[in-house]
A = this chain, B = another copy of it.
Amino acid sequence: MRNRERGQPADLPSLPDVLDAAARIRSHAIRTPVLRSSTLDAMFGTRLFFKCENFQRAGAFKFRGACNAVFSLSEDDARCGVATHSSGNHGAALALAARLRGIPCRVVMPRNAPDVKKAAVLGYGAEIDFCVPTLAAREEMLEGVVARTNAAVVHPYDDARVIAGQGTVALELLDDVPDLDYVLTPIGGGGLTAGTALAVKSRCPGTSMVAVEPEGADDAYRSFRSGERLPSVAPQTIADGLLTSVGVRNFALIRRYVDDIVTVGDPAIIRAMRLVWERMKTVVEPSAAVPLAALVENRIDVRGMRVGMVLSGGNVDLDRLPW
């Protein structure tokens, strides 16, 4: 925490940590398929490879990092359970990982989190503590939970074990699809982006790594351009999984391994989301459609290229679709 306040990254994961994570989560996580769409390929003049983390357990890539963190704990550390704060997917993922290890889990969630995400956390047997939707309120309430329960905190993204776990997405993608020219991820807190970038650049240095961020929550974009972390104030976007600001460890890895960050507007995100539903027959949440939105808005020129994209999650309220 002191390190974080000074803006200095603490322990950063490296490729062996990602490989360890892959072995640790193998029997729990789904090795998700890579889907293609000839219609979308034709539409964008490119070859797209969609890594379907919406099919991951608990409906998002977040399960990988949470699972790696939970199963990294010593018996002693695990005894009092785990706790976190999360707008949703990490909470559900940690709840499921804790259940698989047979330990308790408490999740601090903002009151305005989607109902479907609250239900998922409860469904996996965790307890929820509701707070107002600010980072300060989340952290304060989480400190209280930890003081009472002595639970081990698993941060949703600024955690070496979590970043290493998310990096396993890229290991699988690179194994299944050789010779990618680009890998694109959505970016919120930066767990997926940092882990993916670390794995991609360690394995395939010639592959370009680009993160895509909603304009209304563009702290990673501004931070990347300025060279220092500039957290968001009151971010607003349909991509509810990307409201958080980039973490310290995440930013350190992003500066080292990410080639570029571009931003997209909510209308393009909604259009990209609908394209994925209609053309790929797969349910993704708005955050997962953010990389494709960069092609919809022509923010990145990938014509003729082989492009890997992570469809990060599929937890969306079917009664409140954005079209």
Q: Residues of A with Cβ closer than 8 Å to B?
A: 33, 35, 38, 52, 54-55, 57, 59, 116, 274, 277-278, 280-284, 314, 318-319, 321, 323
- Evaluate contact between A318 and B277: CB separation under 8 angstroms: yes
A210–B85 CA distance with the chains assembled, in angstroms: 47
Whether the Cβ atoms of A318 and B319 lie closer than 8 Å is: no
Complex: how many Å from CA A83 to CA B233? 60
Q: A319-B323, A323-B319 are in contact. Are A59 and B277 (CB under 8 A)?
A: no
Query: Are B274's CB and A318's CB within 8 A?
Result: yes
Separation of A323 and B318 alpha carbons in the complex (Å): 9
* B318 with A278: CB separation less than 8 A: yes
Give Cα A57–Cα B42 distance, bound, in whole angstroms. 14
Tell me, in angstroms, the Cα distance from A282 to B35 when the chains sit together. 12
| Complex alpha-carbon distance, A274 and B318, angstroms | 8
Q: Is the Cβ of B35 less than 8 Å from the Cβ of A57?
A: no
From B33, B38, B57, B283, A283 is in contact (CB under 8 Å) with B283
* Structural contact, A284 and B282, CB atoms closer than 8 A: no
27 A-B contacts, Cβ less than 8 Å apart? A33-B33, A33-B35, A35-B55, A38-B57, A52-B281, A54-B281, A55-B280, A55-B281, A55-B282, A59-B281, A116-B278, A274-B318, A277-B283, A277-B318, A278-B283, A278-B318, A281-B282, A281-B283, A281-B284, A281-B314, A282-B282, A282-B283, A283-B283, A318-B321, A318-B323, A319-B323, A321-B321
Instruction: Please name the residue on chain B nearest to A54 by beta carbon.
Output: B281
Q: Report B-chain residues with C-beta under 8 Å of the C-beta of A277.
A: 283, 318
CA of A283 to CA of B314, assembled, Å: 11
What's the minimum C-beta distance from A323 to chain B, rounded to whole angstroms? 7
Chain B nearest CB from A86 CB (Å) reads: 19
For the complex with contacts A35-B55, A54-B281, 11 further pairs of A-B residues with Cβ separation under 8 Å are: A33-B35, A38-B57, A52-B281, A55-B280, A55-B282, A278-B318, A281-B283, A282-B282, A282-B283, A318-B323, A319-B323
Enumerate chain B residues within 8 angstroms of A280, measured Cβ to Cβ: 55
Residues in chain B near residue A38, CB distance under 8 A? 57
Q: Which residues of B contact A323 (CB under 8 A)?
A: 318-319
Which residues on B sit within 8 Å (CB–CB) of A54?
281
Residue of chain B at shortest CB distance from A284: B281
CB neighbours (8 Å) of A278 from chain B are 116, 283, 318
